[in-house]
Chain A
Amino acid sequence: MSGRVVLVTGGSRGIGLACARRFQALGDQVAVTYRTSPPAPSEGAGEPLLALRCDVAVPEDVEAAFSRLEAELGPAEVLVCSAGITDDGLLMRMSEERWHAVIETNLTGTFRVAKRAIGPMLKARRGRIVLISSAVAYLGNAGQANYAASKAGLVGFARSLAREVAGRSVTVNVVAPGLIDTDMLSALAEEHTAALLSRVPLARLGDAAEVAAAVEYLASAGAGYVTGSVLAVDGGLGMGH
């Protein structure tokens, strides 16, 4: 057994799974959390991912997932927070429940997971946390007030935490993906996706692996002097913001 212990929340599909596979390919020991179904076994992949059932909106789930991770692989040295949901609707029609559900999973869930992970990282005097935000955090998106607010919240959260733990060589960064070809994007109305795509200078959807490459960098030794940053992977949609 070698490599770092990496935990990816929301790692059963989409960007989270792409990150998990990427770290696995580097030789890291990778665990993923999933809410509904574990990641499908991939053809040709070496070690299977350690799949932990965990709804980040449920504190007991988070504790149980970390206990099992620590028992089986050890404390997380790299944490990627990718668990997120959407529940779109125009504000006029957005219920309190839909607002809270998205904030709870995307923002509070990340708070919960990062808080649980940070203790062992501080003790070890090293650690990497990468949060998956979104281009809509800065641009806004009609129908996604809850989602955009949660994703913008992650940036303030990450930068505050980055300041708190910098003295222990733990870095906290954010990746802000744009239109990435995932299940979550398929849930957006087609005409809406087309309208957004027309604003992407690189004029195509991104691949989850392209987001994973950015996450890999921020978790790498080479990114040791990068903290509190937001790295956009959005085909130029936000021109770096």
Chain B
Amino acid sequence: MADEATFDKFRSCAVEVLQVPAEKVVPEASFSGDLDADSLDLVEFVMALEEAFEITVDESELQGVETVGQAYELVTSKL
């Protein structure tokens, strides 16, 4: 169920936790470069996603996840 509503929900998590404007949350945006997120931000973001989507994300699954698109893909793969 990778529809618009799902992405909206994902984006609001990012906006709230990472404190970035919604328009910067685009698939090609990188967390460290474009969104200025550090490792702690990402942990908080993942925890917010887990809560919002009622999923669990294993630490190992986060390896190599560097962009919004990759993170979104990871989330939707669990829905």
Contacts and interface: CB of A to CB of B under 8 A. Distances in A.
Interface of A: 119, 122-123, 164-165, 167-168
Interface in B14-69: 38, 40, 44, 47
Contacts of B40: 122, 164-165, 167-168
Interface of B: 38, 40, 44, 47
B52 to A, nearest CB: 15
Q: Which of B38, B40, B44, B47 has the most CB of A within 10 A?
A: B40
A167 B38 contact: yes
Contacts of B44: 119, 122-123
Nearest to A165: B40
Contacts of A123: 44
CB-CB nearest 8 A-B residue pairs: A122-B44, A167-B40, A167-B38, A164-B40, A122-B40, A168-B40, A165-B40, A119-B47
10 contacts: A119-B44, A119-B47, A122-B40, A122-B44, A123-B44, A164-B40, A165-B40, A167-B38, A167-B40, A168-B40
A241 to B, nearest CB: 30
Contacts of A165: 40
A117 to B, nearest CB: 15
Contacts of A119: 44, 47
B44 to A, nearest CB: 6
A165 B38 CA distance: 11
A206 B8 CA distance: 58
A164 to B, nearest CB: 7
A164 B41 CA distance: 11
Given A167-B38, A168-B40, 8 more contacts: A119-B44, A119-B47, A122-B40, A122-B44, A123-B44, A164-B40, A165-B40, A167-B40
Nearest to B44: A122
A109 to B, nearest CB: 22
A125 to B, nearest CB: 10
Contacts of B47: 119
A116 to B, nearest CB: 13
A122 B44 CA distance: 9
B32 to A, nearest CB: 14
Contacts of A167: 38, 40
A68 to B, nearest CB: 20
A165 B47 CA distance: 16
Nearest to B48: A123
Contacts of A168: 40
A122 B41 CA distance: 9
B47 to A, nearest CB: 7
A119 B47 CA distance: 10
Nearest to A168: B40
Nearest to B16: A123
Nearest to B41: A167
A167 B36 CA distance: 13
B16 to A, nearest CB: 10
